[in-house]
Chains A and B, each alone.
Chain A
Amino acid sequence: MITFDAVSKTYHGQTHAALTDVSVDVAKGEFVFLVGASGSGKSTFLRLILREYRPTSGHVYVAGDDVGRLPSWRVPGLRRKVGVVFQDFRLLPGKTVYQNVAFALQVIGKPSSVIKKTVPETLELVGLAGLGDRMPDELAGGEQQRVALARAFVNRPPMLLADEPTGNLDPATSVGIMKLLDRINRTGTTVIMATHDATVVDQMRRRVIELVDGVVVRDQSKGVYGS
């Protein structure tokens, strides 16, 4: 589903590489933790999948496409296949929960009949049934992250990226989000989650890829946070 082939990335104007010679294969339906300290290259890894950046050398393949060589008119198509959530949720404060989720479908031109059917379904899936009319700032952090997950998943993408999704949440709330990610993964969605939350990694026992200074130092199935 996602393949990194000898990928290196050096940001413009910097001498130190963010990623160095990374080769990784993620199969369809896998759940992968990407662990490492801040600045170890986790976010860069995710951004290369989304084509927010191109690799300096090597190739990133997503669903068969060489992402770095994708013409820019095909980038939106790539992003429709990859849902994303972030540590800071990134909800639109002026829109209700329902509108935030519906927005993701509206802007890719889905007909309103589809939106009316899919959005409530997805809100129910993430455990927010009945909260559609609330504004984001009326919700707790965990609930906001569920809205963000609903938005990322409402289009049923085959891949979901999560960049520190529990970073702003307390441990109890984090468990709820992890259960939800697990549930989404069980629908066949490939999930890659960047985190430095040792607790959730140790609880889940999934594949762990560890980055140190942009280099993959460990790739272990059913791994834990520390080796």
Chain B
Amino acid sequence: MRHTLSETFTGLRRNLSMTIAVIVTMWVSLSLFGVGVMAAQQVDLIKGRWYDRIELTVFLCTSASQGPNCDAGQDATQAQKDAIRQALESNPEVQTVYYQSKDQVFEEFKEVYKDSSILSAMSPKDMQDLYRIKLKDPQEYQGVRAAVEGMPGVQAVQDLRQYLEPLFGWLNLAQGLAVGASALLLLAAALQIINTIRMAAYSRRRELGIMRLVGAGNWYITAPFVLESLIAALIGAALACGTLAALEQFVIIDNAKVSIQTVHWVEWQHASVAMAGVVLVAIVLSTVPALIATRRYLKV
């Protein structure tokens, strides 16, 4: 064990320039990878529970709401609600109708804004009863919209997708670029590791030859090389985690959260998920190429 560790550190020093190259490549690529993971989580947070399941939301009148179909100062009546449900369910374009009362809506609201100061100012009274609608073909929302828009008790019909789709387009593009760039860089890092081991194995071929000849164990011979790559990758991963932590603290918490409060931003828990992913990827992408290289260049 002591031999393995001392050989590992000797190796790291001997190949210092290659080690630094691996660390820097790992750092940048893993940071991009982490950003990609956080961006994906951000998209999910904005989408919330309903986005992927529904296309239209029909808001019903409340005593506080105003709209051409609302009786001033009154909630939509049960008869109106039933009529609207009837109209929705009989529409051939509608696949599913979900009803949510004010209390149910508030429960969801609380969940989404649990860390936000908005919550304390709100109660179920501020919510609206609503129908969430899943369409058979998301493109065909106009007909359904027209059918219920004018009905008594309907305050408004909102097409969530219409507002959020362009935003998600950009977010997905950014995420794709980050993950794509990180995949290329991680490939480069893996190849660097293989090259480093090949060069190290070549420069120590006499010694390795003797080790094999006198019966040194396979793991005894290869462990320093594998550990060397693993340590370089973990240093890169630590730097990448630091980068992600800085992003969370200085960009999200200190800035984005302050200026745009209505959006539920990624939290430390999401950043931790990204960091765990970063460490995992670093471990896999250093040990696997190292094992491949040792198999190939350090054959017994």
Chain A residues with CB under 8 Å of B3's CB are 106-107, 109
- Closest beta carbon of chain B to A164's beta carbon, Å: 16
CB contacts (< 8 Å) of B300 on chain A: these are 72, 75-76
B211 contacts across to A, CB distance below 8 A = 107
State whether A80 and B214 are in contact (beta carbons under 8 Å apart), knowing that A72-B300, A75-B300 are contacts in the complex.
Answer: yes
Q: Separation in Å of the B192 CB from the closest CB of chain A? A: 27
The contact size tier of chain A is 20 to 34
A108 to B212, CA, bound (A): 10
The A-contacting residues of B in range 199-244, CB under 8 angstroms, are: 206-207, 209-218, 220
- Whole-angstrom distance between the alpha carbons of A82 and B154 in the complex? 91
Cβ of A151 under 8 Å from chain B: yes
- Is A78's beta carbon under 8 Å from chain B? yes
Of residues 155 through 201 on chain A, the ones whose CB sits less than 8 Å from some CB of chain B are 155
Q: How far is the CA of A107 from the CA of B207 in the complex (A)?
A: 10
Return the chain B residue nearest A107 by Cβ.
B216
Quick check: is A19 within 8 A (CB to CB) of the other chain?
A: no
Contact with B along A78-114 (1 / 0, CB 8 A): 1111011000001011000000000110111100000
Query: Given A79-B213, A84-B213, does the pair A73, B206 have CB atoms closer than 8 Å?
Result: no
Residue of B nearest to A85 (CB): B213
Chain B interface size band reads 10 to 19
User: CB distance B210 to A79 under 8 Å?
Assistant: no
In this complex, what residue of A is CB-closest to B1?
Answer: A109
Considering the chains assembled together, what is the distance between the CA atoms of A103 and B220 in angstroms?
Answer: 13
Contact present for A109 and B220 (CB under 8 Å): yes
- Is the Cβ of A90 less than 8 Å from the Cβ of B215? no
Chain B's closest residue to A94 (CB) is B207
Q: Which residues of A contact B212 (CB under 8 A)?
A: 76, 79
Q: Which of A72, A78, A92, A93 contacts B215 (CB under 8 A)?
A: A78
Q: A72-B218, A106-B3, A109-B220 are in contact. Are A92 and B213 (CB under 8 A)?
A: no
Bitwise, A50-90 to B at CB < 8 A (1) or not (0) is: 10000000000000000000001101111111011000001
Q: A72-B300, A106-B3, A107-B220 are in contact. Are A92 and B207 (CB under 8 A)?
A: yes
Task: Give the residues in chain B near A108, CB-CB below 8 Å.
Answer: 214-217, 220
- Shortest distance in angstroms between B199's beta carbon and chain A's nearest beta carbon? 18
* Interface contact B210-A92, CB-CB below 8 Å: yes
**Residues A90 and B209 in contact in the complex (CB < 8 Å), given A76-B215, A80-B214, A104-B214:** yes
What distance in Å separates the Cβ of A170 from its nearest Cβ neighbour in chain B?
Answer: 25
Residues of A within 8 A of B (CB): 50, 72-73, 75-81, 83-84, 90, 92-93, 103-104, 106-109, 151-152, 155
* Given A75-B300, A90-B210, A104-B214, 12 extra CB contacts under 8 A: A76-B218, A80-B214, A81-B215, A83-B214, A90-B206, A92-B206, A103-B210, A106-B3, A107-B214, A107-B216, A108-B214, A108-B215
For this complex, 14 residue pairs linking A to B, each with C-beta atoms less than 8 Å apart, are: A50-B213, A73-B218, A75-B218, A75-B300, A79-B213, A80-B215, A90-B206, A90-B209, A93-B206, A107-B3, A107-B216, A108-B215, A109-B217, A109-B220
